[in-house]
Homo-oligomer: A and B are copies of this chain.
Amino acid sequence: MPKDNFQTLKGFRDFLPPEAAARQEVFAKIRTVFEQYGFLPLETPALEYKEILSGKYGKEGEKLMYSFADQGDREVAMRYDLTVPLARVVAQYQNELALPFKRYQIAPVWRADRPQKGRYREFTQCDIDVVGSASIFADADVIACLNGALLSLGIKDMVVRINNRKFLDGLMRAAGISQKKTADAIRILDKLEKIGEKGVREELAFSGINTKQRQALFEFLGNSFEDTKDFVANFEDIEGAGELAELTEILLDMGVKNYEVDPTLARGLDYYTGTIFEFVLPDAAEYGSVAGGGRYDNLIGKFAGKPIPAVGGSIGIDRLMAALEELELIKYDVVSDVLVCNLEENLSEKYLKVVQTLRGAGIKTDFYYEPGKLDKQLKYADKKNINFAVIIGADELKKGEAVVKNLQTGKQEKVKEKDLVKKLKPG
């Protein structure tokens, strides 16, 4: 087989150590906040019966699903998102699970989408969901948790745009748009940022929404409201406005001040039934929303055989990583702390003792296996972005010392062997 064939599939990626380490750090921070908010981890298989996933993602999704017949001729499909497996889990274990069930899952999903910048066929989702509560506190908890997770990554400036599907329905109704045309109108409205107001007006007209209705709708949508009182005063007659106002008050009680009520926020998915939200980073706006979600009270019931309300949200880790890089909140470089150099074969017992001491103190320590020239070893440390080299020759050994070379500054100093841990311990 020619060497050229040793590559990843189109749309799939390897994460070499610098990227993989940065991703893990991000996952760990997100996971910590998810758990502080009382969300518990769940793992589901990469493969499910195709029947479970089929018909849940629309015609387009069906085409993008990786599915095949397994060795036992079962029709199986690779995980397409984390929400449908959650619904299956709730149905399968409904007698065991305490409701509300608050779970998080961080796992790859697969979609045979056309690969393009920032879009991959394998990508990781970070989802939290509250299943089994219709309370608006659950909506607020999900938003506050995602907000906390993003803040934990060092993001300073961030806005949560919030809206409510019932309220959006209410606005449509108030603008004279019929129930039947509402789903279409919401789908069109969702393109506002992409195609602008003019584009949206054109598409609305094309889908049979008349001039007067369009005019009325855009009057309603004209402003976003940061102040809850203004907001309620403006819209108190419209269904869902009360719920939206309540949500904003609870968010304030939970310390989330960076929200913005945005009546134009629509979100694409059909299954939302109440609160919808999206996180954007004004300083890295070109990456679009880095997280989003909403309430979906009818989806889980399709699996469980009885109505079970739910609300959830998801962090899009690929966009987020790109935005974090842009904001210089992430570095893809230093991944190990120390290289203990191997200069003289007969000193290996000493080297290994030092290695063992450093590792025992939690310091990420590499040992250069082949005794040899220092130059080569320092070059290796440099290529691996190791911070410090510990150099011990016969002279140092006699004095109970080591030379510690800072590989970023090039400076080196003599350190007593007993002080090595203190010197090298990061943080």
Which residues on A are within 8 Å of B, measured CB to CB? Answer: 1, 3, 5-10, 12-17, 19-21, 23-24, 31-32, 35-38, 40-49, 51-52, 63-64, 66, 68-72, 74, 76, 78, 88-89, 91-93, 96-98, 100, 102-103, 108, 110, 112, 122, 130, 133, 135, 137-138, 141, 148, 250, 253-255, 303, 305, 335-336, 339, 342, 348-349, 352-353, 355-356, 359, 362-367, 369-370, 380, 383-384
Not counting A20-B43, A46-B78, A250-B352, a sample of 4 additional A-B residue pairs whose C-beta atoms are within 8 angstroms of each other reads A19-B43, A21-B41, A135-B370, A253-B352
Q: Is the CB of A353 within 8 A of B46?
A: no
Given A6-B303, A253-B353, A370-B135, answer yes or no on A41-B24 (Cβ-Cβ < 8 Å).
yes
In Å, the complex CA distance between A141 and B353 comes to 13
Partner of A35, one of B98, B305, B364: B364
A356 CB → nearest B CB, Å: 5
List chain B residues, Cβ under 8 A from A68. 66, 68-69
List chain B residues, Cβ under 8 A from A7: 49, 88, 92
**13 chain-A/chain-B pairs, Cβ below 8 angstroms:** A5-B49, A8-B44, A14-B93, A23-B43, A35-B336, A35-B364, A37-B359, A37-B365, A40-B384, A46-B122, A64-B71, A98-B384, A135-B369
- Number of this chain's copies in the assembly equals 2
Structural contact, A369 and B137, CB atoms closer than 8 A: yes
> A42 and B17: CB pair below 8 A?
yes
Residues of chain B with a CB closer than 8 A to A66's CB: 47, 68, 70-71
Q: Chain B: which residue is nearest A359 at the CB level? A: B36
A91 touches B367 (CB 8 A): no
B residues in contact with A3, CB < 8 Å: 91, 305
Chain A at the B interface: SS class: mixed
In the complex, what residues of B have CB within 8 A of residue A78's CB? 46
Supposing A14-B42, A20-B43 touch, asked if A52 and B6 sit within 8 A by C-beta, the answer is yes
Q: How far is the CA of A355 from the CA of B1 in the complex (A)?
A: 60
Q: How far is the CB of A146 from chain B (nearest CB, A)?
A: 13
Contacts of A88 in B (CB 8 A): 6-7
- Bound together, the chains give a CA A135 to CA B380 distance in angstroms of 16
| A44 contacts B92, C-beta separation under 8 Å | no
Does A45 contact B122, Cβ atoms closer than 8 Å? yes
B20 touches A41 (CB 8 A): yes
Contact, CB under 8 Å: B42 / A367: no
Which of chain B's residues has its CB closest to A253's CB?
A: B352
